[in-house]
Amino acid sequence: MSEALVAHDSAVGARPTVVRTRRRWVRPLVGLPLLAALVYVGTQTLGPAPALGPLLDPVHGIWASTRGAAFRESITTSIPGLRGEVTILYDRRGVPHIFAASEPDAYRALGYVVARDRLFQLELQARAAAGTLTEIAGAGALSLDRNMRALGLPRAAERKFAAVDTTDAGARAMDAYTAGVNAWIDALSDADLPIEYRMLGARPRNWRPIDGVHLLNRMGYTLAFSDDELRGIAARARVGRVAADALFPFDSPIQEPIQPTGRPSPRYALRRLPPPGTPEPDAGIVSALALAAAPWTAPDDGGFDDAVGSNNWAVAPARTAAGHALLAGDPHLELTLPSIWYEAHLVVPGVLDVYGVTIPGAPTIIIGFNRDVAWTFTNTQADVVDYYAETVDDPGAPTRYRLDGAWTPLELRVERYLAPDGGVVAVDTIRYTHRGPMRRAGRGWLSMRWTLFEPSRETSAFVDVTHARTVAEWMSAMATYVAPAQNMLVADRAGTIAIRSTGVYPIRPGDGRGDVVRDGSRSASDWTGWWTAPEYPQAVSPAQGFIASANQQPIDPAVNPRYLGADWFPPWRAMRINQLLRADSSVTVDAMRRYQTDPGSARADAFVPYFLEVAAKPPEGSVARAGRLLAQWDRRYTPDNQRAVLFENAMRELARAVWDELRDPGAPARGGDPRPSDIILLELLEDSASVWWDVRETPVVERRDAIIRASLERGLDTTIARHGDPDAGGWRWSGIQQARVRHLASIQGFNAAPVAVQGGPSTLSPSSGQGTFGASWRMVVELGPEVRGWGTYPGGQSGNPLSDRYSDRLGGWARGELDTLLVPRAPSGLAPEAIRARVTLVPR
Amino acid sequence: MTSRTAWLLRFSALLVAMILVTVALGWWGVPIVGAAFAALDGRDSTPMEASASAASGWALILLVTALAAGARPVGIIGNALGIPAIAIPLASIIFASLLAWSSAAVALFARTVVVGAPDTRAGPGATAR
């Protein structure tokens, strides 16, 4: 025993020795289990919580993301496969301008910069489409994965990828892009690991070329999976086929088509609605199954059609102030952080010079412009999904289906869903007929055919069009495009403007309709071919001097009655933009920008007069007050407007009262109910004695004016109850309707705060319901001697929530502002003060 | 050299070791250094010293990170995890502290079993050997 210990002991007596002895045993007794527990929670995930060690580590853990958020001003790095040096200049808006000596190098660099800014998004979106989210997020994502696999999307991607011509431009671009993404992943530092991976306790997986196919499939699912025909089928279960066909018609009662007719428009073809008929019970089973697979659920306080809607329009030089063609586009999608789009500029001298937005995972610009041509898209809404009632050998576990009198084996595909640790979460067997995946529908089985399952080369088409010099070249490069069908708007420097609803459209047997469930036991029910490109709805430099699309029916059935679909958005936005463009024969760039967030509403113009007319009739009462308040409205959804909310509540009450036949007696209105569009309501307003006005639960027989009156009164009551007195400030539109931009993986803390926007249901920049949809990218391009562009999107270039580039554009987007897009031809074309950072990639 | 100076030097060296090993190996380095320190030093106070140095080392790293990045990221991370912003740095420091203490305690006991009773000299007030 040492001197010190002896001295200590003799000074304090025997007690400390006892304490020490006790401590000597207590410490390991506490320390060992504590250490074991800490190592366990440090290395193992506990439920949804990640392992604590890698998370809390101050150097490599979640804190490292703060270092990754800083934008390093200068980096030189080598990546494998590069042919020459690539210079990447980030401008002040965080847009990478990629200057490469060859196209593959440009695509490789694009993969690198996209991975740098959007790595988690890249993997999450590809996994969502491939149905492998459980492998990163655990069993909580199982229902999403099951839906994707039951729809047959992963199988379709595998088959498409297997059929890819590896010498094709798209395949080569994707290979180079993949190498760029993986160069970033392979050299990933702790600081650059996206924070979401840390929270999940995961590491990024290498990118594969097939992921690009998954991604395009995902876009097809989002844009081309139509459920409106299913709502029509659901309506048959309530009111019979004749009435349901009238409530969900495949021709819009108001025609403002994309392809100009040469006659005055809009053309009104309002019809008298037939009365409710005998229900078709089986229709409900069919629609319930298929609706369960729909990507979007309508908000329960309004129609989905009011909340979503893309626009594009182009103006010929003769109608612009500067004498140059102008093009504008604003695709509307679910608003997420990071945004679905990533902005970039690719330059290969003499070969490629393209600016615009790409989807992370796509190796080229999707919407944008080069030095000669600009292009943008809206969704065509064509019917490209059909259902077939199949006859099977064993309804519980079928292995064969009946086709032309013979039993045909089903393709059985076993789908395994894996956990992050590789364990099996669940196993499904998906059955396929020659048409596509088959799903149980009540006691029967339905198979599905979808153009998205067809072989295609979209990536190549998107790569090819970036080289186009004229509208004609652009259209030619896109002629083989398959899905999702898009209204492709193009303009060039020569002043040509054009649009074509491009994508494959099936030719069906018999009456050609796709909004029916066909007999799967006959091959005669199958598609018999495809429309040819010249048959697609289209227009090239029409006499009217402008072209506009807003997801409306592309071609007037009076011009061509051929069935193309039934899921057209109401033409309110199309009517409004056409009205604005007809009235302006000297359109400026700024006018194009203003139109994108125009607060006017063709829908309000159509309905408000009916409310005012009824409110002016005796007897007076609260309806007269509501009428006076509504009359003060200028029918514009500006942020400071204080009357739009009354109109919206009255419209909601009106729809609830009128369409009671489409829900169970006494049941409240729900988002999943089949609800006809407001256009049908307008048809009904023309027929004041229709039986549809009667509310079944009441003993009296109501007529039109009584329902309008009651709706307006209830609308006022609801508005006052929710928002206070009319002039107390609570009715301000900005406080009622806001845009909500949520994190891609719905991590609450990474959402943006709600922002006020200009626009309401069915305005050109529609905002409705929860406000989770909106303009995902706004762009205006002037095709003068030097192409000029302006644009923005609601978010920022970085996917790192800790970065100042995560949501830096949101404020300007909400105000309807556009940024000037810089398009230098060479690195020297970007002024030093415009450069925020520089990356030099050199061959390894 | 006074005992206080010696203790300060020893503590500083341990603190630097904790920082370096965290940078090099990550969080695993903390129990390794804690255990090694206790096994080599053998004094009764080593678990507390290891704990304090690990907590201080991680606190210093967090402080530097916060100074460079500002307070905003801390708030965002807290929001994302659904906990108060201050909870995460606190949890980090406590985690390091417990890791170092427990590993040192276990190592000290192992040393006792192998070598004999620990040296009971404490920190700054202890008499120099």
pLDDT tens-digit profile of A700-726?
888 999 999 999 999 999 999 999 999
Indicate whether B126 pLDDT > 50. Answer: no
- The nearest CA of chain A is from the CA of B3 a distance in Å of 13
Q: Please tell me if residue A30 touches chain B, with a CB cutoff of 8 Å.
A: yes
CB contact under 8 A, B58 and A58: yes
Closest CA to A392 of A345, A439, A342, A337: A439
pLDDT at B129: 36
pLDDT at A34: 95
pLDDT in tens, A404-443: 999 999 999 999 999 998 999 999 999 999 999 999 877 7
Asked if residues A735 and A641 have their Cβ atoms less than 8 Å apart, the reply is: no
Determine the residue among A1, A8, A17, A57 to mutate to test chain B binding: the one whose Cβ has the most chain B Cβ atoms within 10 Å: A57
**What is the total residue count of chain A?**
844
Write the ipTM: 0.89
Mean of the pLDDT values across residues A800-824?
96
Asked if residues A455 and A464 have their Cβ atoms less than 8 Å apart, the reply is: no
CA neighbours closer than 13 Å in the CB half-sphere of residue B95: 27
DSSP lists the bridge partners of residue A814 as none
Give me A287's structure tokens: 């629609």
pLDDT at B72: 76
Mean of the pLDDT values across residues A93-113?
97
Region of residue A541 (phi > 0: left; psi between -120 and 50: alpha; otherwise: beta):
left
Q: Which residue has the higher pLDDT, A802 or B83?
A: A802
pLDDT at A3: 40
- Nearest CB to B76: which of A39, A53, A802? A802
Indicate whether A9 pLDDT > 80. Answer: no
Distance CA A614, CA A632 (A): 16
Mean of the pLDDT values across residues B52-75?
87
Determine the residue among B77, B93, B111, B119 to mutate to test chain A binding: the one whose Cβ has the most chain A Cβ atoms within 10 Å: B77
Distance CA A578, CA A112 (A): 42
Distance CA A514, CA A507 (A): 9
Asked if residues A348 and A106 have their Cβ atoms less than 8 Å apart, the reply is: yes
pLDDT at A502: 96
Distance CA A815, CA B29 (A): 51
Give me A343's structure tokens: 């902005």
Give A-chain residues touching B69 at CB under 8 angstroms: 66-67, 69-70, 802
Determine the residue among B76, B93, B119 to mutate to test chain A binding: the one whose Cβ has the most chain A Cβ atoms within 10 Å: B76
Question: Which helix H or strand E contains A411, and what residues bound it?
Answer: strand A411-418
Indicate whether A531 pLDDT > 50. Answer: yes
Q: Which residue has the higher pLDDT, A691 or A666?
A: A691
pLDDT at B70: 74
Distance CA A271, CA A682 (A): 10
> Which band of pLDDT confidence, cut at 50, 70 and 90, is reported for residue A2?
very low
Give B-chain residues touching A56 at CB under 8 angstroms: 27, 88, 91-92, 95-96
Distance CA A196, CA A206 (A): 16
pLDDT in tens, A154-198: 999 999 999 888 888 999 999 999 999 999 999 998 889 999 998
- The nearest CA of chain B is from the CA of A2 a distance in Å of 8
The number of beta carbons lying within 10 Å of the beta carbon of residue A339 is 28
Q: State the pairing for strand pair A835-843/A74-79.
A: parallel
Asked if residues A764 and A596 have their Cβ atoms less than 8 Å apart, the reply is: yes
Closest CA to A557 of A249, A230, A229, A245: A249
pLDDT at A206: 96
CB contact under 8 A, B119 and A2: yes
Asked if residues A581 and A588 have their Cβ atoms less than 8 Å apart, the reply is: no
pLDDT at A283: 66
- The nearest CA of chain A is from the CA of B47 a distance in Å of 9
pLDDT at A646: 97
pLDDT in tens, A271-326: 999 999 988 866 666 666 555 545 444 444 444 456 678 999 999 999 999 999 99
Q: Which residue has the higher pLDDT, A700 or A602?
A: A602
Could you tell me which residues come within 8 angstroms of residue A307 by beta carbon, excluding any fewer than 6 positions away? A299, A761, A766, A767, A768, A769, A771, A772, A773
Q: State the pairing for strand pair A342-348/A96-99.
A: parallel
pLDDT at B94: 96
Computed over every residue of chain B, the mean pLDDT equals 85
pLDDT at A15: 57
The single-letter DSSP state of residue A49 is: B
3-state class percentages of chain A: helix first, strand second, coil last, to nearest 5: 40, 20, 40
Q: At what angle do helices A704-723 and A644-658 cross, to 10 degrees?
A: 130
pLDDT at A86: 98
Lowest mean pLDDT among A576-580, B10-14, B75-79: B75-79
- Nearest CB to B120: which of A8, A53, A801? A8
Distance CA A772, CA A825 (A): 37
pLDDT at A181: 97
Asked if residues A365 and A358 have their Cβ atoms less than 8 Å apart, the reply is: yes
Give me A329's structure tokens: 């586009």
DSSP lists the bridge partners of residue A441 as A444
Lowest mean pLDDT among A342-346, A546-550, B74-78: B74-78
Could you tell me which residues come within 8 angstroms of residue A827 by beta carbon, excluding any fewer than 6 positions away? A87, A89, A97, A99
Q: In terms of pTM, does the model score above 0.80?
A: yes
Distance CA B31, CA B10 (A): 17
CB contact under 8 A, B73 and A802: yes
Indicate whether A494 pLDDT > 90. Answer: yes
- Nearest CB to A748: which of B26, B79, B117? B79
AA letter at A362? A
Phi/psi at A175 (nearest 5 deg)? -60, -45
pLDDT at B87: 86
Could you tell me which residues come within 8 angstroms of residue A165 by beta carbon, excluding any fewer than 6 positions away? A171, A457
- Nearest CB to A38: which of B44, B92, B99? B99
CA neighbours closer than 13 Å in the CB half-sphere of residue A124: 20
Q: Please tell me if residue A337 touches chain B, with a CB cutoff of 8 Å.
A: no
Mean of the pLDDT values across residues A769-781?
94
> Which band of pLDDT confidence, cut at 50, 70 and 90, is reported for residue B128?
very low
Q: Please tell me if residue A397 touches chain B, with a CB cutoff of 8 Å.
A: no
Residue showing tokens 């040509």: A496
Asked if residues B27 and A55 have their Cβ atoms less than 8 Å apart, the reply is: no
Q: Which residue has the higher pLDDT, A240 or A303?
A: A240
Distance CA A62, CA A50 (A): 11
pLDDT at A17: 61
Computed over every residue of chain A, the mean pLDDT equals 91
Lowest mean pLDDT among A61-65, A223-227, A381-385, A767-771: A223-227
CB contact under 8 A, B77 and A747: no
> Which band of pLDDT confidence, cut at 50, 70 and 90, is reported for residue A515?
confident
Could you tell me which residues come within 8 angstroms of residue B40 by beta carbon, excluding any fewer than 6 positions away? none
CB contact under 8 A, B65 and A63: yes
Closest CA to A691 of A724, A716, A658, A645: A658
The single-letter DSSP state of residue A251 is: S
Give A-chain residues touching B104 at CB under 8 angstroms: 31
Mean of the pLDDT values across residues A352-372?
97
Indicate whether A217 pLDDT > 60. Answer: yes
The single-letter DSSP state of residue A397 is: S
- Nearest CB to B22: which of A30, A57, A748? A57
Distance CA B96, CA A787 (A): 58
Closest CA to A598 of A613, A585, A612, A583: A583
pLDDT at A825: 97
Asked if residues A128 and A141 have their Cβ atoms less than 8 Å apart, the reply is: no
What percent of chain A lies above the pLDDT cut of 70?
92
Mean of the pLDDT values across residues A212-228?
80
AA letter at A817? E
What are the strands, taking DSSP E only, across A536-652? 538-540, 546-549
What is the three-state SS of A138-179?
Answer: CHHHHHHHHHHHHCCHHHHHHHHHHCCCCCCHHHHHHHHHHH
Q: At what angle do helices A572-583 and A602-615 cross, to 10 degrees?
A: 100
User: Chain A window 793-812: which residues touch B at a Cβ cutoff of 8 Å?
Assistant: 801-802
B118: cis peptide before it, omega within 30°? no
pLDDT at A299: 41
Indicate whether A618 pLDDT > 50. Answer: yes
- The nearest CA of chain B is from the CA of A836 a distance in Å of 18
Q: What angle is formed at CA A559 by the lines to CA A554 and CA A560, rounded to 5 degrees?
A: 70
Distance CA A210, CA A617 (A): 65
Mean of the pLDDT values across residues B42-71?
90
Distance CA A412, CA A429 (A): 6
The number of beta carbons lying within 10 Å of the beta carbon of residue A667 is 9
> Which band of pLDDT confidence, cut at 50, 70 and 90, is reported for residue A229?
low
> Which band of pLDDT confidence, cut at 50, 70 and 90, is reported for residue A131?
very high
